[in-house]
Amino acid sequence: MRIKRISAAVALTAAGALVISGCAAGGGDNGDDSGLVEGSSITAAWNQAFYSMNGNTSFGNATANNNINYLVLDGFNYYNNTPELVKNTSFGSYELVSEDPLVVTYTIAEGKKWSDGTPIDAADLMLYWAAESRSLDTPDFDPADFTDPDTGEFTDAFPTDVVYFDSGATPTSGLGLVSETPEVGEDGRSVTLTYDEPFVDWELTFATMGEMLPAHIVGKKALGIDDNEEAAQAVLDAVQSNEAADLAPISSWWNSGFNFTEMPDDPDLVVASGPYMISDYVADQYVTLTANPEYTGDNGANIEEITIRFIPDPLAAVQALENGEVDIIQPQATADITTALDGIDGITVDTSLGGTYEHVDLQFDQGKNPENIFSNPQVREAFMKVIPRQEIVDTLIKPIIGDEAIVRNSQIFVPGAEGYDESVAANGSDAYADVDIEGAKALLASSGITDTSVCILYASNNPRRVNEFALIQASAAQAGFNVTDCGSTEWGGLLGTPGAYDASLFGWQSTSLGVTNSLPTFETGGINNLNFYSSPAVDEAVSALNTEFDEDAKIDLQIDLDTALWSDFYGVTIFQFPEVTAISDRVTNVESSILAPTVFWNAWDWEVTDAASE
């Protein structure tokens, strides 16, 4: 029998950390008393292919990667679907040693190992700090000239003598505030971090699930060392001594060595610490995860094998569910999808508003247009006036969830969250409530721009995005813009690539409730700052938010930040994603979260039901 559940959206207290969207409690240890059922398997679907086991870089920071990385890389904490932060004490612990100065000690639990049997220890923690703080980077190095505009990856011409970790860390927030090299504990499994100044979201900055990579693998590949423990020690030595000759190849390999689009020949590249490990990968088709035999944490797998198939077309995903080819889908929701799911028996459907929002960003610099069109504020304002936000919502979103579908009018606040209404009243977004063709024409005419071409990057294999692009293109043409198609199936890797496009249409997905973690999208040089935006006012607000603990003051600062972004004609927000999760009766304990990784947050708890054998 088909069951349908409809849940309300969770009002997030802040935008949270953001990851590029592709749309879109533990299960016991892995010992003799684990819930692992040998030979059990299920298949889930996602709409974008995996391409990097390093989601910490500007290239790899995408939901399609982090869904999988979350399950293969263990960490100190994660969010459940309440959502609330869960301390993953079976992996390790952290202690707030001092508030002023802010000092925190992180300790890996005794006996933890990577899937190849190598101990998880201080070398891994120190490599994480070096990469995520960038405190050891070569000063003033700009990688822009060494990025391939066709792929978004660094080119072979990238200098070999510079230390550059592509984590987007800045010295004003997060681990960027830990400029002093951490102290390694005598146990060899702990590090103590001292912050340069207080940081309100300190608990979310260090090695949460899906992030920490194996130092010994980086050392082996970057430094040419065969022995695992010797390689880990070499990385630790390089970080502690700030040895640039070794850190340069270490950072280079960390940036790109974990990128792959099919099962690598080298098994070192899929070494894991989480409940699962990558065991098979067929390019553009599927990734298979198998229970990690070295995992001894609380989140031990129940199902031995989870295959994630890549199905970009939402209707094809529904068809695969109906045919029994997949057991879990979370396709980008459309009216056709909800109608199609209504006709399928033996499934459960959850419908809600999710933590992802759609938006258009404008490239302030290094766009595709020869005149760098959006470096001109009048042209940015003109283009924002022609984006048919309400028409997009009315045409594409309301047929799915009805009147719950509204235009989102804040870059910072989620609709329904504290501060949203106050910010919308003050931020100036009301100027773009309706399309203003005449106003756009006047601005464009006075701008001095002669080449009005605007190439928009979006997911060309995503039907809803294709429809959004068409609506924007038609509206913009009325004002004199020549909107061209930069759509690509590889859009995620191209985001932030100089010269690849002029505007982008995609979704940001919230990964935490931290007030500061969306700020790298807007601060100068932040990892999610993909449009070369820089504003002293915004940077000032970001810096103030990093150290502000008073709740009312945090709201006020976020309103100031939101107002500055709209005043700078940063781009427009459009809508909060409707989210549809459909689950076969073959599997149970599947409960999606509003935060990334949504449906995968407790994959270790999934179980195959009796229906699987019927």
Q: What's the CATH number where 141 sits?
A: 3.90.76.10
pLDDT of residue 193: 98
Among all chains, which residue has been given the structure tokens 């004199």?
480
468 Cβ contact partners less than 8 Å away, ≥ 6 residues apart: 358, 392, 396, 458, 505, 574
- For residue 34, what pLDDT is reported? 66
Q: What is the pLDDT of residues 112-139, one digit of tens each?
A: 999 999 999 999 999 999 999 999 999 9
Q: Are 542 and 523 in contact (CB under 8 A)?
A: yes
Give the start-end residues of each E strand in 176-236: 183-184, 190-194
Structural domain containing residue 224: 89-208+214-256
Mean pLDDT of 312-322: 95
Does 307 have pLDDT greater than 80? yes
- The closest of 88, 61, 72, 152 to 517, measured between CA atoms, is 61
Is 456 within the bounds of a domain? no
Q: Is residue 50 part of a domain?
A: no
As a whole number, mean pLDDT of residues 181-191 equals 98
Q: Each residue of 522-569: pLDDT tens digit?
A: 999 888 899 999 999 999 999 899 888 899 999 999 999 999 999 999
Q: Name the 3-class secondary structure at 378.
A: helix
Question: Contact 427/22 with Cβ under 8 angstroms?
Answer: no
Banded model confidence at residue 217, pLDDT cuts 50, 70, 90? very high
Between 520 and 23, the higher pLDDT residue: 520
- Which pLDDT score, from 0 to 100, does residue 7 have? 36
Burial degree of 18 (CB within 10 A; 0-12, 13-18, 19+):
buried
Work out the percent of the chain whose per-residue pLDDT is above 70. Answer: 94
What are the pLDDT digits (tens) for 328-377?
A: 999 988 888 989 999 999 999 988 778 889 999 999 999 999 999 999 99
Beta bridge partners of 3: 348
- 288: which strand partners? 280, 307
In this predicted model, what pLDDT tens digit does every residue of 34-92 receive, in sequence order?
689 999 999 999 999 999 999 999 889 988 999 999 999 999 999 999 889 999 999 99
3-state secondary structure of 291: strand
pTM: 0.85
Q: What percent of the chain has pLDDT over 90?
A: 78
Would you state the pLDDT for residue 354? 82
Asked whether residue 142 is assigned to any structural domain, the reply reads yes
Q: Has residue 310 been placed in a domain?
A: no
Alpha helices (H) in 498-586, listed in sequence order: 536-546, 551-567
Round to whole Å and give the CA distance between 258 and 239.
20
Burial class (CB in 10 A: 0-12, 13-18, 19+), 469: buried
pLDDT for 305: 98
* Average pLDDT over every residue of 405-427: 93
Q: Which pair of tokens denotes residue 214?
A: 């194996």
Judge whether 75 lies within some domain. no
Report the domain count for the chain. Answer: 1
Residue 325 above 80 pLDDT? Answer: yes
With vertex at residue 141, the alpha carbon angle to CA 135 and CA 143, rounded to the nearest 5 degrees, is: 110
pLDDT at 9: 38
β strands within 330-371, DSSP E? 347-362
- pLDDT for res 33: 53
Q: Residue 493: what pLDDT? A: 84
Residue 14: per-residue pLDDT: 43
Q: In 10 A of CB 244, how many CB atoms?
A: 15
Domain assignment present for residue 531? The answer is no
pLDDT-derived band at 26, boundaries 50, 70, 90: very low
Please state whether beta strands 587-588 and 347-362 pair in parallel, antiparallel, or not at all (unpaired).
unpaired
Is residue 221 predicted with pLDDT exceeding 60?
Answer: yes
At residue 278, φ and ψ (nearest 5 deg) are: -75, 120
Q: Which range, 3-17, 269-283, 345-359, is most confident?
A: 269-283
* Cα–Cα distance for residue pair 380/221, rounded to 1 Å: 45
Residue 226 lies in a domain: yes
Q: How confident is the model at residue 450, as a pLDDT? A: 96
Does 363 map to a domain?
no
pLDDT at residue 16 greater than cutoff 50: no
- Over the chain, what is the mean pLDDT? 92
